[in-house]
Structure 1
Amino acid sequence: MKMQLYSKTKAGKWAAILTIFFIALMAIKLSALAMLIRLPLPTPILAVIGVIGFILGIISIVKNKDRSVLTLLAILIGLLIILWTAAEIAYPH
């Protein structure tokens, strides 16, 4: 089975788009560019975008047997967000 970069399914495409959107917005939020742009980028809203990408990636893999690289990246990033949130709740600082 050949692995593709892009997904052919609608859920896989949306998972990839939301994950790339999450990564781009987090990069802007963490850079010095955020002070110049002054965009309100609350981290919980960005995390929800990443988790929605995760859910769509899971749906794409389970329902449509999608195995594209960007769909798998969406699942990996979504798992990271979920584990980070669980760790913040379990061990607040």
Structure 2
Amino acid sequence: MERILRATGKAYHPHCFTCVVCQRSLDGIPFTVDAANHIHCIDDFHKKFAPRCCVCSEPIMPAPGQEETVRIVALDRDFHVQCYRCE
């Protein structure tokens, strides 16, 4: 008998339950969905939707193994803590 995964109200073969960005199998791996209900691995979700630092242009996302991060918002701009400098 073949194993079936249930997520987001749908049934998937384990090899079909993948991140829409990197195509990595998410069988047994934490995942999230966007507003359109597309399935993402956590890393790709943060890369795609996280605010970008106005200094380095990189996404402001948690460090590997962390679930949260800190950002500075000043004058309607987002900064990594290490990128923020008073002018």
Which TM bucket (shorter chain)? under 0.3
Higher RCO (Cα < 8 Å, 6 or more apart):
1
Structure whose CA Rg is larger: 2
- As a proportion of its length, which structure holds more strand? 2
- As a proportion of its length, which structure holds more helix? 1
